Amino acid sequence: MDHWVLLSVSLLAYLYLEVAGAGAQDQRGLAGQGNGRRRGPGGAEHNQLQGVGLGRGKRRKAGGPGKGRAKGNNQRSKPPLGLTRLGSLPPNEGGDRGSIFIESYKSVDERQSNYNVIPGKKGQCVYQGITMFEKAVWSPKPCVTCLCSGGEVVCDEIICPHLRCHYSYTPTGECCPVCMDTVPNDPVNPDLDPAVPRSQAEIELLLKREEEEHREEEARLLKKDAEKKRRKKQKKEEAEKQRSLQEERRLQEERRLQDERRLQDERRREEERLQMEKEEAEKRQEEAEVAMKEQERKLEKERRRHEDDLKEKLRELEEEEEEREQEEEDVEWLLRGDVFQIFPEEPTEEDLLTPPLAEPTEEQEEDGGEDWGGVVRRPGNTLPLGCDISDVIVTCENAQLTNFPPLNIPELKSLSLEGNAITTIPMGAFNGIPNLEWINLSKNKLVTSGIAPRAFKGLKFLSRLFLDNNLLELVPTDLPSTLQELKINENHLKGIEENSFQGLSSLLILELEGNVLNEGNVDHQAFSPLSQLSYLRLGRNHFRTVPQGLPPSLLEVYLENNLIEEISDCVFNQTTNLNVISLRHNRLEESMIAPLAWINHKNLESIDLSYNRLYLVPSYLPRALVHLVLVGNQIERIPGFVFAHMVPGIEYLYLSHNKLDGEGVEPESFLGTYTSMTELCLDHNLLVTVPPGINQMSTLHFLHLNNNKIRTFAEDAICDPENIEDSHIVMLRLENNLIDPRKISPTAFSCVRSYSSVVLKPQRTK
């Protein structure tokens, strides 16, 4: 087969040499030369041009610059074939004259051949009934070369170079035209006929010109190809930029929708709260109206009863008067001398101080004989209407009192006057009840000027005083030194002076929420006298920073619903015994919490930073921290090693309602919690997978991953298959995600104590 191909190529070369004319007798000797040139006269030099033209036309399909040129010409001619020619095409140095060898072909899958690909068997090809062996090359028609490669026939068409000359012609047996200096067969100048042999210098000049034109064409095609690549790259970058902009707009829209939903939820919760308060107020009003009607009914009943009693007494008096008159008439005849008159006895001093009590009726005896004639009576004491007494406790709640009631019950321990309209506490108000231990004056109309300066001073056993929901602007003065609990929430306190708590060294609990306090109107030495204070509430005020001068004995401090933006590194320096800090609903950012604010507090176990402006889990948390609440922030990332310094480790971590996504949790984020974490809440976030590290938490009991965007998770995402210890997870919540329960591995929940503890339904579809 190879011999047949060589013979075909040689025959084409021979025919061309015959047409060329002179010098045919020296063709055999010249064909054997290595450089492909002829030295004799006639058509020898023209034969060299033919060989060069054929070789150059084929090389333009090979790798390198020739390939780019073929691609450029492809726009003006037929599409390129599906192979690339490798290597050069040297003339044969032996055998038949004019034959050429094609070294190798390489198939290119991305292009389609102009000819059908015929499958073969065992590396052979069948073409028009003829069997071709592997690597066989043949030409089924002029300017087309075929190759048998891997059982398939791949054909290639010779692409001619672009000529830049005035005149060109295609020699006989050739596929590509060549340039000529004059018009062929010019009758005026017959010496310039292409059949006439040229000199060696002319041939080299023509070759040099053609090579220069070839390089210029290749440079132009390379420049054009580079420009096309640049435009393609620019379009790709623009498309990528457009996709990024669309993704950013989509994320912004999602955040906007989430904010709207959050605002709607908060508005709905606020409306529900207001509705509940309204319903409770209506209920209390109804209860008060019912109680008032009941009291009116009782009063009316008592009034009628008294009227009946009076009528009965008048009737009895009239009967007695009639009997007396009758007796007088009967004995008048017996009397002699002056008429004797009997005067009533003079009242004693005791009778003047204590009027006689009417005998109780049957209904009053059933009630214990305490509710007589609109007042509650005890031996030697009278209570206002609406008051109750039980043992050593008097309750006058919502009794519509406008003044402090005068009481004389020395053994009384507790007095509740909540829900009245009392405006003043006069001097000596507690003289008749000196042994009080607890006083509740909440929900009245007390003002600072209405409380006598030493009104509470005589109460030597008072330990609890409630003054919530009044109109006080200053802390009452001269409070008993025995006081242990003081509540002045929901008033109008405008400041705390240096001596406001003077003498209250026994105070343990102080609540001042819902006032107008701030760091400017609270004296730095105001809390100094409170040497035993352990519980302090300052929520719902106007603090921008944590107030200074907190007592060292403090164990719990609550600063919710303020305007706190910063925590300096010295504000908690003196309160080394702190155990609980609550800073919910403030304006804190993680960068505004000083690194040394609380990291060295050995007893600080609980911190609540919910509903602030945090984007990251804060660093430098206390080493002894056990309970951390970060609900309702904008946290997008849990930095690595943020819990690694804690000893023994955090146990309760609440990160619900934040913005954690698939990239927000690092492999080292939970390092330091693997042997301590008990409850982990990551619900209502943007997680797409189960965060790494959860399967290593050997003490985890409660895991909340509901209301995220989790679609699938690995078999070992929650439970470590290598851990053969007993199941430890008590509750696992995965509802409202994008999980298909049918795709969950049977061993995915092997560390859960009971499958009934896994909540998977409902799931969202998108």
pLDDT digits (tens, 9 = 90+) for 116-159: 444 444 568 887 778 888 888 888 877 788 888 888 888 887 77
For the beta carbon of residue 114, count every other beta carbon within 10 angstroms.
14
pLDDT at residue 557 tops 70 = yes
**Half-sphere exposure of residue 472, counting CA atoms within 13 Å on the CB side?**
31
C-beta of residue 582 within 8 angstroms of C-beta of residue 608? yes
Instruction: Report pLDDT for 381.
Output: 57
- Give the integer Cα–Cα distance in Å for 698 and 651: 12
Instruction: Report pLDDT for 340.
Output: 33
Instruction: Report pLDDT for 357.
Output: 32
| In 452-559, beta strands by DSSP E | 464-466, 485-487, 509-511, 535-537, 556-558
Element (H, E) at 304: helix 200-331
Output the six-digit token pair for 364: 């009053």
Query: Which pLDDT tens digit goes with each residue over 88-98?
Result: 333 333 333 33
Tally the residues of the chain: 766
Query: Which pLDDT tens digit goes with each residue over 582-591?
Result: 999 999 999 9
Rounded to 10°, the helix 44-59/2-20 angle is: 130
Q: Which amino acid is at 658?
A: N
Query: Which pLDDT tens digit goes with each residue over 165-217?
Result: 766 777 776 778 777 654 444 444 444 455 556 678 888 888 888 888 888 98
The region of weakest confidence among 148-152, 355-359, 436-440 is: 355-359
The region of weakest confidence among 19-23, 223-227, 704-708, 741-745 is: 19-23
- Give the integer Cα–Cα distance in Å for 136 and 151: 11
Instruction: Report pLDDT for 282.
Output: 86
Q: Above pLDDT 70, what percent of the chain?
A: 73
Fold of the CATH domain 383-492: 3.80.10
- 556-558 and 535-537 as β-strands: parallel, antiparallel, unpaired? parallel
pTM of the model: 0.53
Strand partners of residue 390: 393
What is the side-by-side strand order in the sheet with 375-378? 371-372, 375-378, 381-383
Instruction: List the end-to-end C-alpha distance of the chain, in Å, as a whole number.
Output: 66
pLDDT category at 35 given cuts 50, 70, 90 is: very low
For the beta carbon of residue 386, count every other beta carbon within 10 angstroms.
17
Query: Which pLDDT tens digit goes with each residue over 257-271?
Result: 999 998 999 888 888
